[in-house]
């Protein structure tokens, strides 16, 4: 008998229940994993609350973990028992000591990347990869705006963008978070609760604005963001930490012939080749030291409810990992 954190109905953190579960033998094309560490991401909150509907209940949630292959299903030939692997994709079920998952959704880990680092970097790191390299391909010399620059995605984005020669303006919620963002490559920080970030961006850029805004906050920031985009700029709305964006009127886009997109990691890594390429790009910058993964909080997996409470209260910074 093994354990998992499951929900039986949508709701608050208290709906996360640590309970015993059975894990069957892996099916065709699947591998069975013994998890070593599990990543905490804001999308887990969306699944728990029902903002992103779940296919069936009860279910374990979670999309990111690393572990060791303990069994192979029929047809799996490119992995072996004992391989260290990681993943950041559906199907849900990462909040578990053991699970089965399609072999095509996992990637082998380099020996130089430890379990806790791996579990904390896959989803956020591959998100940063596609945002900076594919959604809007940043170029050296550009200035960009990154919301929540001291969050998990934000800290990795600041480092990776700096590695690419980009100037970063980041919004943060406190002086402590401003210092953290700057230590990770952010050039200019804006305390968005005290300052009008759009006005500050225009001041920093001498009225030019920025060609792209990476917005994982959502409802609280998207509309104002169009006031500091440069003409033909792109609004990349990839998260809803403050609530979902109900609609974006065409009149907002008409201000500067702006573009808007709502990308997802799942779409950008749906094909196996794209998943492997994204993971390899992430491994490269981490192994080179260009991007350092700072796991700033750890919780036992059985205390997932407390971790969710802290995440939603914005008490966490950077990356959070569950130990198994």
Tell me the two tokens of residue 4: 């998992």
Q: What percent of the chain has pLDDT over 90?
A: 90
The residues spanned by each domain of the chain are 2-122+269-323, 140-262
Q: In degrees, to the nearest 5, what angle opens at C-alpha 185 toward C-alphas 194 and 207?
A: 55
Superfamily of 140-262 according to CATH: NAD(P)-binding Rossmann-like Domain (3.40.50.720)
Q: Is the model's pLDDT at 149 over the cut of 90?
A: yes
Indicate the pLDDT class of residue 204, thresholds 50, 70 and 90: very high
Cα 261 to Cα 172: distance, rounded to the nearest angstrom: 23
CATH superfamily name and code, 2-122+269-323:
Medium-chain alcohol dehydrogenases, catalytic domain (3.90.180.10)
CA distance 85 to 108: 4
**3-state SS class at 265:** helix
- Spatial CA neighbour of 211 closest among 129, 136, 128: 136
Closest CA to 158 of 312, 130, 169, 212: 169
pLDDT number for residue 294: 87
Q: Which residues pair with 212 in a beta bridge?
A: 234
**Paired strand residues for 108:** 85
Q: To 10 degrees, what angle do helices 304-312 and 42-49 make?
A: 100
Confidence of residue 97 (pLDDT cuts 50, 70, 90): very high
In the prediction, which pLDDT does 62 show?
98
């Amino acid at each position: 008998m093994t354990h998992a954190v499951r929900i039986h109905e949508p709701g608050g953190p208290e709906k996360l229940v640590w309970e015993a579960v059975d894990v069957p033998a892996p099916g065709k094309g699947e591998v069975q994993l013994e998890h070593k560490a599990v990543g905490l991401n804001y999308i887990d909150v969306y699944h728990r609350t029902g903002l992103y509907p779940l296919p069936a209940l009860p279910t374990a949630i979670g999309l990111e973990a690393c572990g060791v292959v303990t069994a192979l299903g029929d047809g799996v030939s490119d992995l072996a028992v004992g391989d260290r692997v990681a993943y950041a994709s559906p199907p849900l079920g990462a909040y578990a000591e053991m699970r089965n998952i399609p072999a095509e959704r996992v990637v082998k880990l380099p020996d130089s990347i430890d379990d806790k680092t791996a579990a904390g970097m896959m989803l956020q790191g591959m998100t940063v990869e596609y945002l900076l390299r594919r959604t809007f391909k940043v170029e050296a010399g550009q200035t960009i705006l990154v919301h929540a620059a001291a969050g998990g995605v934000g800290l990795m984005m600041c480092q990776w963008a700096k590695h690419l020669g980009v100037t970063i303006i980041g919004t943060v919620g406190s002086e402590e978070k401003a210092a953290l963002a700057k230590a990770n490559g952010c050039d200019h920080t804006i305390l968005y609760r005290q300052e009008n970030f759009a006005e500050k961006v225009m001041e920093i850029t001498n009225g030019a604005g920025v060609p792209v805004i990476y917005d994982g906050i959502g409802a609280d920031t998207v509309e104002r963001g169009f006031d500091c985009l440069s003409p033909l700029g792109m609004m990349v709305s990839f998260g809803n930490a403050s609530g979902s964006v109900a609609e974006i009127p065409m009149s907002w886009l008409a201000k500067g012939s702006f573009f808007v997109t709502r990308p997802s990691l799942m779409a950008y890594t749906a094909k196996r080749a794209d998943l492997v390429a994204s993971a390899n790009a992430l491994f490269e910058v981490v192994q080179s030291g260009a991007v350092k993964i700072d796991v700033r909080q750890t919780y036992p997996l059985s205390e997932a409810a407390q971790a969710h409470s802290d995440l939603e209260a914005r008490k966490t910074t950077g990356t959070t990992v569950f130990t198994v």
